Amino acid sequence: MAARTLYDKLVDAHVVRNLDDRGLVLLYVDRTVLNEYTSPQAFAGLRAAGRKVWNPKAALMVVDHVNPTSARRTRAMPDGAAARQVDYFAENARDFGIEYFDILDPRQGIEHVVAPEQGLVMPGMVIAAGDSHSTAYGAFGALGYGIGTSDIEHYLATSTVRYRRLKTMRVQLTGRTPLGLTSKDIVMEVIRRIGADGAAGYAVEFSGPIVSDMSVESRIVMSIMIVEAGARGVVIAPDQKVLDYLEGRPRSPKGEMWERAARSWLALASDPDARFDREVTLDVSEAAPLVTWGTSPDQAIAVTDSVPDPVGGPDRKAAATRALSYMGLTPGTPIQSIPIDFAFIGSCTNSRIEDLRDAAAIFRGRSVAAGVRAIVVPGSTQVRAQAEAEGLAKVFIDAGVEWRQSGCSMCLAMNDDVLRPGERCASSTNRNFEGRQGPGARTHLMSPAMVAAAAVTGRITDVRSMLGGLRQ
């Protein structure tokens, strides 16, 4: 058989049947995670057609987008519309027999944090879910990708989706990681180079020595964020680090079954002579921490640079001009001179324990600058508990940071964590779109450590000037 990429192998292993001769297949999907805002109309569709869920055990339902993150939250939702969504969500879980973590469940959190935490994500799986950041699962050697509500309904009714095979892109990361550079900076550098549609229509495989050296959580950051270059699926070959992460998780196989699974998983990789439709190589040795200046995730510069002049064709130039106007910035302004009002650490991109350790390393012994409001929203209730056990929560609180309950929170601001018009936020999220964190709000994307540094100085800051104990 011809050499195949890992992506091709995962798809081949899940084809129920071909639907045309152009790569449209009926693809079996092993798992999904459902949230309260992209699933209601799918369940309504099932109800209207009198259909059942094909395999209720393959799904998990988690409230994450609309829930408040206040310290003393209850099951009650202060917002009536959110309450109706959550009530309907719970009703659907009950009626269709699907496992459900409500907001007071100790296993609750952001779906892309919770699913790996519970051991629901395993190498070799195909996982499609109603959130664009479902590419997270690529970090485990699973094919993860996001789908819309109609496809959720299709999946629930059939355990399959209609799927068009993608082109493949390999992103090889080489060199030596400089101190202070995180996987968030690396993936932002990739996006900046290839553009906001540079991976559109591709499944991306990350590989190379930098990826091998990275923790699983750092790989998750890249797998999630490369969606901002349009990637429609992500895979990273599983290794011993993935096994170490998964072993002993609640839903991971045990005993002899674990041994068998582990052997099978470690064999999952692209063939050495497999061909990719596109190759991108990035030597990270000279890379610097990145910050976005505009309203598209590819509008980013090194923290040592200045806000650029709009460039490109007429429409791109117009978009950049509009972005500068929205962001209230002037070309030539050193990015480090820009003051912030708000610092947000959280979201499926950067809310895991390693992210909180990075941020705490900067906050330790320092305080949030006067006039800045900083909040940390852990990715799950378990991450929150671990951060408290490790003393990270105390570091945040001592520094004047608000220590919150878990949820998506200010990443898309569907709950009550919303910026006011004109407020400028250093944010560990991955979207800086107009209005994303609130109508008129201004978002600068960066790593959690960079957000912490900005919170401490009150302006965008090169974290390398305040280093101590950052992970690679």
Q: Which of residues 377-406 bind another protein (CB under 8 A)?
A: none
If binding is defined by CB under 8 A, does position 64 make contact with another protein?
A: no
**Among candidates 117, 112, 87, which has minimal Cα distance to 102?**
87
Closer residue to another protein (CB): 176 or 258:
258
If binding is defined by CB under 8 A, does position 147 make contact with another protein?
A: yes
Smallest gap from residue 75 Cβ to another protein (A): 17
Distance CA 43, CA 207 (A): 38
If binding is defined by CB under 8 A, does position 256 make contact with another protein?
A: no
Pick the piece of the chain touching another protein (CB under 8 A) from 21-29, 208-216, 276-284, 345-353.
Answer: 21-29
**Among candidates 94, 103, 101, which has minimal Cα distance to 33?**
101
Smallest gap from residue 174 Cβ to another protein (A): 28
Distance CA 120, CA 376 (A): 26
Distance CA 237, CA 34 (A): 26
If binding is defined by CB under 8 A, does position 73 make contact with another protein?
A: no
If binding is defined by CB under 8 A, does position 141 make contact with another protein?
A: no
Strands (E), 141-201: 143-146, 160-164, 167-174
Segment 169-208, which members bind another protein (CB under 8 A)?
Answer: 196-197, 200-201
If binding is defined by CB under 8 A, does position 310 make contact with another protein?
A: no
How wide is the angle at C-alpha 307 spanned by C-alphas 304 and 312, nearest 5°?
125
Closer residue to another protein (CB): 43 or 206:
43
CB-CB contact of 133 with 349 (8 Å): yes
Q: Phi and psi (nearest 5°) for 278?
A: -145, 140
If binding is defined by CB under 8 A, does position 230 make contact with another protein?
A: yes
If binding is defined by CB under 8 A, does position 25 make contact with another protein?
A: no
Instruction: Name which position in 167, 176, 249, 322 contacts another protein (CB under 8 A).
Output: 322
Q: How many CA atoms lie within 13 A of 55 on its CB side?
A: 13
Instruction: Name which position in 37, 101, 276, 403 contacts another protein (CB under 8 A).
Output: 37
Segment 93-132, which members bind another protein (CB under 8 A)?
Answer: 122, 124-125, 130-132
Contact string 329-368 vs another protein (x = CB under 8 A): ----------------------------------------
Contacts of residue 47, defined as CB under 8 A and 6 or more positions apart, other chains included, come to none
Closer residue to another protein (CB): 40 or 448:
40
Distance CA 376, CA 213 (A): 27
If binding is defined by CB under 8 A, does position 427 make contact with another protein?
A: no
- Cα–Cα distances in Å, from 177 out to 126, 216, 222, 421? 31, 16, 15, 37
If binding is defined by CB under 8 A, does position 467 make contact with another protein?
A: no
Closer residue to another protein (CB): 154 or 219:
154
Smallest gap from residue 319 Cβ to another protein (A): 5
Distance CA 38, CA 113 (A): 18
Instruction: Name which position in 47, 52, 75, 84 contacts another protein (CB under 8 A).
Output: 84
